[in-house]
């Protein structure tokens, strides 16, 4: 009888643990769905703001002089492409042809990254940041293979993935906030509420989108 009671207790404990895990997974799935909805809503608002800005604002002579000043900066390596981005390690700014006012804002934003990089010497840490991303990708792949092939999670591996993603997310938040702080100091930008809203919402949208990776990673770990 004592053994039967003990077995019943163990079974009940596993049932409680199982239902708790299911509840956690459901909550995380709900957060994932909410995250997706927020991303979609933000994208819609950003597109609307982009349309209004490009319709009501033109690139004037003062903007063209500012653009020429950015492009003549010898500390920045420019590369033509179909998008805007900045590489802290190579100091290379990828840009496309400036066709409208929001393109000017994007160029100014990426150039703000270049200013931040020169002022802080952040490029010296970029090799370390690259290693974090490399280890994050490799450990995540190993984690996924462990989960799907062995149907179990190695705790230290899961903790390492979550920790590295948190560090990566912190880096992204830091550099984006720093660049936009520089950008919003420009008089012609900070006095334009519509443009300020466009810049801030773009930044928030990037943070929310990157948060999806953390949620998905946590769902995979919790489900296993």
Task: Provide the residue ranges of all domains of the chain, joining segments of one domain with +.
Answer: 2-57+101-223
Residue 184 pLDDT > 80: yes
Determine the pLDDT at residue 158.
78
- Phi and psi, residue 93, nearest 5°: -105, 115
The count of C-alpha atoms lying within 13 angstroms of the C-alpha of 29, restricted to the half-sphere facing its C-beta, is 9
Q: What is the pLDDT of residue 56?
A: 92
Q: Say what percent of the chain tops pLDDT 70.
A: 83
Contact 220, 146 (CB under 8 A): no
Nearest-CA neighbor of 220 among 143, 134, 136? 143
For residue 187, what pLDDT is reported? 85
Cα angle vertex 73, ends 59, 202, to 5°? 50
CA distance 185 to 29: 39
User: What CA–CA distance (Å, rounded) separates 17 from 104?
Assistant: 55
Pair 197, 49: CB distance under 8 Å: yes
pTM: 0.79
- Per-residue pLDDT reduced to its tens digit, 150-183: 666 677 777 787 888 888 888 889 999 999 999 9
Half-sphere exposure of 49 (CA within 13 A, CB side): 19
SS3 115: helix
> What mean pLDDT comes out for the span 189-211?
92
């Amino acid at each position: 009888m004592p053994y039967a009671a003990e077995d019943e207790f163990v079974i009940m404990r596993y049932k409680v643990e199982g239902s708790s895990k299911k509840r956690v997974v459901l909550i995380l799935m709900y957060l994932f769905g909410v995250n997706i909805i927020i991303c979609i809503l933000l994208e819609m608002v950003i597109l609307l703001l982009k349309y209004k800005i490009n319709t009501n604002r033109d690139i004037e002579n003062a903007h063209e002089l500012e653009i020429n000043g950015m492009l003549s900066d010898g500390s920045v390596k420019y590369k033509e492409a179909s998008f805007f981005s900045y590489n802290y390690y190579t100091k290379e700014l990828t840009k496309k042809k400036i066709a409208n006012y929001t393109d000017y804002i994007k160029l100014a934003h990426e150039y703000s990254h270049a200013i931040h990089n020169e002022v802080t010497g952040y490029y010296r840490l970029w090799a370390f940041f690259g290693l974090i991303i490399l280890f994050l990708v490799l450990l995540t792949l190993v984690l996924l293979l462990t989960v799907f092939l062995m149907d179990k999670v190695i705790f230290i591996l899961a903790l390492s993935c979550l920790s590295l993603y948190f560090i990566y997310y912190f880096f992204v938040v830091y550099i984006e906030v720093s660049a936009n702080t520089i950008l919003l100091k420009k008089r012609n930008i900070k006095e334009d509420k519509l443009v300020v809203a466009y810049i801030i919402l773009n930044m928030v949208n990037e943070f929310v989108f990157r948060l999806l990776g953390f949620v998905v990673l946590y769902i995979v770990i919790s489900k296993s």
